[in-house]
Amino acid sequence: MTDLSRIRNFSIVAHIDHGKSTLADRLIQLTGTVAERDMKAQLLDAMDIERERGITIKANSVRIDYPAQDGQTYVLNLIDTPGHVDFAYEVSRSMRAVEGSLLVVDATQGVEAQTLANVYQAIDAGHEIVPVLNKIDLPAAEPARIREQIEDVIGIEAHDAIEISAKTGLGIPDVLEAIVQRLPAPKGDRDAPLKAMLVDSWYDSYLGVVVLIRVMDGVIRKGDTIRMMKTQATYKLDTLAVLKPAMTQIDELGPGEIGVFTASIKQVRDTRVGDTITHEKKQTATALPGFKPSVPVVFCGLFPVDANDFEDLRDAIEKLALNDASFTYEMETSAALGFGFRCGFLGLLHLEVVRDRLEREYDIDLITTAPSVVYRLHLKSGEVKELHNPADMPDLTLVSHIEEPRIKATIMVPDDYLGDVLKLCQDRRGIQADLTYAGTRPLVVYDLPLNEVVFDFYDRLKSVTKGYASFDYQLTGYREDNLVKMQILVNDEPVDALSMMVHRDRAEMRGRAMVEKLKDLIPRHMFKIPIQAAIGGKVIARETLSALRKDVTAKCYGGDATRKRKLLDKQKAGKKKMRQFGKVEIPQEAFISALKMDG
């Protein structure tokens, strides 16, 4: 049993690449939590894809024992959170489980858009915040300027910000002391009925579902029978453990502690994130407030390349959804692609990560349809419908108007690139809401349609600013606009996987870009293939893919021209027949490349 006054629960928040995971490594290393031979970079990023991309996707937890300078040993529970806008949901969950945050700011880059978004979540959760300036060993570091910037932009005291280099280990002991001295101890009543928050859960093929909990009141022991208050399910605990990062079994968890348990739970779906866990016999009177459920903003279809893999894909998606509460899916069928799933994601990076994990961990080749957002259709009958897939668009004569989701985008960018960013936002039908200066850097706020951002806005933003801009957004609501459904026809057959909603003014440009791209991507067949973009019955762009031809006149040496003509006409008739009955094979790469639209 650990005394409450000697527990500190905290998370590390920062913009992408400001050094959260590296700082976590140093804290683990300096306290000897993991043996030196087992240490590796980004220790808490367990997934291959996290290590490969150098990003944190899942929030991870570790328990550190720290002998402080006052002679006491403290238990520090650290939750390392993602920095990317798509995974802000993971961050908000982790915030509720802890009392304080280390705000890591890169001493060369300063405050970025995501730093703001994440630190506001920490302030909303009522955290004590300790600012930490990382990368102080770099020649370009300007700690004095960044301190001022933190005070101006975020509005928290930063004169005592700790200067560190997570890479070299400089200043790490000061961070550990600051956690103990400046962050509050958790509160909780050991004798009250058990009240624990379900922070996260994941699937382990040996143990079943592993559940990460934070105990608020009461004590949970190995062998207890517990009840989930939302689902009303009861389970008997098999094991109780703390993460150091490996599971270390213990007998009980008291108030303020963070640990994991297994209870032969078969599906992660049975463990709702944010649920309250209590004892079966002695239940707590009130449940914890829980979390807002995450709302998917980007939808796309996932189909197996080989139709026989459909059952494997179903299993893989179900297993993946076990570990990812923010990923939603339902079955759908498509004329071109067969059976598949319509999936909802928090953003494009989330979509890429899920797709990569399905292909890599379950070895399934996938076709991903064009990502789209949720539109609201106001029908003339007065009914309002949500449109997740452009292929399901009803007849336009029934629709009175269409609304699309809008976002408030906050972009921080160096002065030199401001013009390019404003132009990019204007091109994407953006409406400028604000332009202020955070210290010396412009902070631009735009009202943008989510549909324009989903495609490749983030990539374009990075390329026009040479990677210096940072970007964060939140949904603001729906607004009516002049939207139409554009179809792509290949050999007069609509390819529903490539249907998309576009603004009427930009339809021709988008359509032309799409057909030109497909012309290069679809291999030539024995007959010529028209590739068209159409709105309703009107074709707005067309390219023709010429046929592969065998030289049928090669065997004619001299002789009458009519002999050659006869052979060519015969070939032409054959091609015409072929075009009627021939099927156009569109390769997997063509779908993926066609959907990555370039400006």
Write out the binding residues for GTP.
17-22, 134-137
269, 327 contact by CB (below 8 A)? no
7, 185 contact by CB (below 8 A)? yes
Residue 132 one-letter amino acid: V
Could you tell me which residues are beta bridge partners of residue 432? Answer: 446
370, 476 contact by CB (below 8 A)? no
Give the C-alpha separation, 551 to 130, whole Å. 76
Classified as helix, coil or strand, 68 is coil
The DSSP secondary structure of 288-344, one letter per residue, reads ----PPP---EEEEEEESSGGGHHHHHHHHHHHHHH-TT-EEEEEEETTTEEEEEEE
By the 10 Å C-beta count (0-12 exposed, 13-18 middle, 19+ buried), 333 is classed as: exposed
Which pair of tokens denotes residue 459? 């990539």
Q: Kindly report the number of other CB atoms within 10 A of residue 124's CB atom.
A: 11
Which pair of tokens denotes residue 496? 């529903």
All residues at 6 or more sequence positions from 375 whose CB lies less than 8 Å from its CB, including other chains: 386, 387, 402, 403, 404, 405, 483, 501
By the 10 Å C-beta count (0-12 exposed, 13-18 middle, 19+ buried), 576 is classed as: exposed
All residues at 6 or more sequence positions from 63 whose CB lies less than 8 Å from its CB, including other chains: 33, 75, 76, 77, 78, 242, 243, 244, 258, 259
Q: Kindly report the number of other CB atoms within 10 A of residue 404's CB atom.
A: 21
Helix axes of 418-427 and 450-464: crossing angle, nearest 10 degrees? 160
Residue 14's nearest CA partner among 170, 108, 133 is: 133
Give the C-alpha separation, 549 to 525, whole Å. 9
Instruction: Give CA 242 to chain center in angstroms.
Output: 27
Residue with tokens 């949904």: 475
SS3 content of the chain, % helix, strand, coil (to 5): 30, 35, 35
Instruction: Extract the annotated binding site.
Output: 17-22, 134-137
Spell out a b/e string for 242-275, using b for 16 or more CB atoms within 10 Å of the CB, else e.
bbebebeeeeebbbbbbbbbbbebeebebbbbbb
Classified as helix, coil or strand, 439 is coil
Classified as helix, coil or strand, 374 is coil
149, 159 contact by CB (below 8 A)? no
